Structure 1
């Protein structure tokens, strides 16, 4: 081999070796780069995994916080929506079951040792439904110390075996005092791996809300009681004002009536006396005229004819009859005026007369006897005194006048064949005399005017319109009260309440 050939071969070998060395160095650098890339990728993947896990945990915590907030917000909103403590407790149970993810829940309310709510076999499910589950309902009922009368400070946990699946579970429960001798329990049945300290802490807010609701309901009830009391006081005040105004009007009317009675009494006496005398004189003239006629009949002839001519020309007989009727009507009218004057005087001076002890039964029976001719063939009148007789002090004549007036009005308003009942009832300090009829009754307008002087529903000439006003004045003078209840078509009930002898 020539030197040039050998040299060329050596150069090729050296070039090949340099190439191999270069390739080895490239391969080494690529291995290092690959290893670095794999290490970076591993680190990146690990960071991505950790970031993903952190994100998942953050999302889970966020959802849990959202669920906590929804539970707290919902429970708080129930304070204004619920009208009663019982309603709020049932709403709180619904929220607690849904929030905790419990298998079911149940509420119990015990008052004075008696189970008001929770005796049934229904339990609340997370989907807000009540389902029948006698075994679970009985389990929750047995796990709670329903006889306890002292509130828990926190939720309690009992380990139990579910009767339906024979698996271990937990019963969460607490008791809250709603009111005196009234207690409420909430019970939740959960899986043993679902209890978290934070969940229990959030559930504890239910107890605070219940306490707030109880205080709220208590204040609300007290406020309602005060409002009712104020309304009652206002009503009593209005009634008193009406009675004072009515009493003032009655006093003024009494003074007016006294003056009218005094002014009318004297002249009507003259008119009555003169009318009676005039009637007697007219009767004498009538007798004299009859005797003159008899003499003319005896004389006969022209005297008789002349007499008959005068009698026919002046219509003496017809005129005499008309004048006689006029005297009768005038005297009736005068007697009517005298009765009104007497009523006015009774209205003006009701307090005169001595007060004596009066028997309620005797007073009622006397009124029945005095009106016997009015109801004997028209109505059945019966007296009922289940508690026996009662005694009170009063003016016997005035009390008789009041009872007769009420009974007469009842007879007047009651159709034939209907009943009228008289009742005597007594309490510790008063006696009630009641006249109740099955009559036509009164409209509200008539009832409102019933004690107004000169107001009457009777036809003209049948009543003075003073009977009820005089009766009210008399009863008030006796420290009594008159109450009237009436409905058109159903009758009227008049109650006179007077103090018993013992309470005077």
Structure 2
């Protein structure tokens, strides 16, 4: 009995010890659980706060991105060449997109009249233009269009949206673009809440509009000044070229005058002696004919002797040849005299009386004088569809100019090609045109065509004075020479003279 009691006591003690152990384990687990719950709560709170901070940072980043995009887009508009209308619409588009406004409208007021935006068009938040009479009326009622002093910042007015009947805000801004010209921007918000930072960024609009107006003004002034400088440079280059040409022509004139003077005297002697020698030869020829007639009348040995001498010395043939030589010599002398006259007229272009001349007659004379050059080579046609025109000029000098033009055309035109002489009238000017189907001229040749002694002809075929002399004559007649030429297609040279 005693042993059974002891065993029971031991079992009870073991159970109590086990219970105590389990209680201690449960207590430790409760403490661990409590600690875990506390840690989990703290971690969850930290995670929530971190998530909120992340959301805020992301929102701020997106906001900064929109601000940067707005500023970048607005700044990019400054590099574009736009009118006031184009720039104010670009500024409106950027402002509507950045602010998230329901819609916007741009106006330009000049001399107290709306010159841009006087219709019902508004720019929606999605970037689309729509026609809305009610919202346009709301903008016009809200904006103080009578003001003529630029805003420092965007202004805010309370308004009721006509579509939702809810309270909203109208943001408006005005800047004086030029004297008496004012640009207006107006935005209608989706609700009555506003972001102060957004308004601060929108304030940059005034700087861009102001900068653009000054930029466009300066650019216009700069372009105008550049055009003036370009015109002045062109005039200066032309004047320099004319001065160089005038200097060359002056020296050439002095040279020509000296040559003409030196040649004129001896050629006068040669001409006079040749004419006298021809007359004396004619007298000898007549005397020989009389002697022959007397010998024939005497007959007999005298007649035979005369005919023997006549045949032996080839008197008839020699006489004909000498006569031909005299004619050719005189023709050459006359040609030299004409050249001397041309040199003198080049040196003193003002000499000679001006009379009323016919353009058709002047053209016909040039055709006749060059007939031996073009007769078997080119077909030359005279066209005067609207009849004849008249002008004042020296007949010989005008003829010299036209002959020079026509001679050059014949030289440059291949055989079988056509040359046209045209008479036209343009306003108060007479136009005498020589147009060929020749080889044309390069730009380099065109620039040198009036340069003294410049010629494209082979040595011996041209002196290079023809066009220089022609220019001198034409300027003395208050006229102009216009040359249009294209290589391989031909040349058109026009003599322009005042009508009578």
Same fold judged by TM-score > 0.5?
yes
Whole-angstrom CA distance in 2 between matches of 1:293 and 1:485: 64
**2:424 is aligned with 1:440:** no
User: Aligned pair in 2 of structure 1 residues 185, 270: CA closer, same or farther (>3 Å)?
Assistant: same
**2:141 matches 1:135:** no
- Partner of 2:436: helix, strand, or coil? coil
For 1:42 and 1:434, the matched residues in 2 are separated by 107
**Gap regions ≥5 residues in structure 1:** 355-362, 386-395, 426-432, 499-504
Pair 1:365–1:188, CA change in 2 (3 A) = farther
TM-score of the two chains, using structure 2 as the length reference: 0.70
Does the Cα contact within 8 Å between 1:483 and 1:495 map onto a contact in 2? yes
Please give the alpha-carbon distance, in whole angstroms, between the structure 2 residues aligned to 1:243 and 1:312. 67
Partner of 1:421: 424
* Structure 2 Cα separation of the partners of residues 409 and 174 of structure 1: 73
Aligned-partner Cα distance in 2 for 1:459–1:24: 133
Take 1:409 and 1:422, find their aligned partners in 2: how far apart are those partners? 22
Partner of residue 493, structure 1 = 494
Residues 3/260 of structure 1: CA separation in 2 closer, same or farther (3 Å cut): closer
What's the offset of the Cα at 1:106?
Answer: 5.7
CA RMSD of aligned residues (A): 5.2
Inter-CA distance 457–423: structure 2 relative to 1 (3 Å threshold): farther
Would you say the 8 A contact 2:103–2:188 is kept in 1? yes
**CA apart distance, 1:20:** 9.0
Moved more, 42-51 or 166-175: 166-175
Residue 374 of structure 1 is matched in structure 2 by 365
- Is 1:161 matched up with 2:133? no
More divergent stretch after superposition (214-223 vs 169-178): 169-178
Aligned-partner Cα distance in 1 for 2:332–2:481: 34
Instruction: Show the 5 A alignment for 1:144-293.
Output: 151-157=150-156, 159=159, 161=161, 172-180=171-179, 183-192=182-191, 195-293=194-292
Instruction: Tell me the CA shift for residue 52 of structure 1.
Output: 2.4
Is the 8 Å Cα contact of residues 436 and 491 (structure 1) preserved in structure 2?
A: no
Q: Note the alpha carbon deviations across 1:89-133, whole angstroms, 9 max, x for none.
A: 55544443433334555655677767468869684764xx6x463
In 2, Cα distance between equivalents of 1:353 and 1:417: 29
What TM-score comes out, normalization by structure 1 length? 0.70
| 2:493 match: secondary structure | strand
CA distance in 2, matches of 1:89, 1:272: 87
Matches within 5 A, 1:326-475: 326-350=325-349, 365-366=356-357, 368=359, 371=362, 374=365, 378-380=382-384, 382-383=388-389, 419-422=422-425, 425=428, 434-437=430-433, 439-440=435-436, 443=441, 444=443, 447-453=446-452, 469-470=468-469, 472-473=471-472
Tell whether the 8 Å contact from 1:168 to 1:191 is kept in structure 2 after alignment: no
Tell me, yes or no, if the aligned pair for 2:108 and 2:184 is still in contact at 8 Å.
yes
Corresponding residue of 2:54: 55
Secondary structure of 2:152's aligned partner = coil
185-194 or 3-12, which moves further after superposition?
3-12
Alpha-carbon distance between aligned partners in 1 of 2:146 and 2:311, rounded to the nearest angstrom: 113
Task: Quote the Cα distance in structure 2 between the aligned partners of 1:171 and 1:311.
Answer: 128
C-alpha distance in 1, partners of 2:355/2:325? 40
Tell me the distance in 1 between the aligned counterparts of 2:307 and 2:114.
Answer: 108
Q: 1:244 to 1:31 in 2, by over 3 A?
A: same
Deviation of 1:7 after TM superposition, in Å, equals 12
CA deviation profile, 1:349-401 (whole Å, cap 9, x unmatched): 346799xxxxxxxx67345597386389945353389xxxxxxxxxx9x7666
Shift of the 28–369 alpha-carbon distance from structure 1 to 2, 3 Å rule, reads closer
Change (3 A) 1:56 1:462: closer
Kept in 2, the 8 Å contact 1:420–1:435? The answer is yes
Change (3 A) 1:116 1:334: farther
Deviation at 1:265, TM superposition (A): 0.9
Q: Which secondary structure state, in structure 2, belongs to the residue aligned with residue 263 of structure 1?
A: helix
Q: CA deviation at 1:470?
A: 4.6
The answer for unaligned runs of 5 or more in structure 2 is: 368-380, 411-417
Q: Report the CA distance between 1:274 and its aligned residue.
A: 0.5
| 2:359/2:423 contact within 8 Å kept | no
Cα distance per residue 1:466-502 (max 9 Å; x no partner): 6754565467679x6745343465743344689xxxx
Distance 2:339 2:152 in 1: 82
Rounded Cα–Cα distance in structure 2 between residues aligned with 1:378 and 1:459: 29
Cα deviation, 1:32-89, whole Å, max 9, x if unaligned, reads 8766765665455344423322332122112212322233234334434x23355555
Paired with 1:5 and 1:193, the residues of 2 have a C-alpha distance of: 92
Query: Which of 486-495 and 116-125 deviates more?
Result: 116-125
Could you tell me how far apart the structure 2 residues matched to 1:372 and 1:475 are?
A: 16
Which residue is equivalent to 1:66? Answer: 65
The count of corresponding residues between Structure 1 and Structure 2 is 464
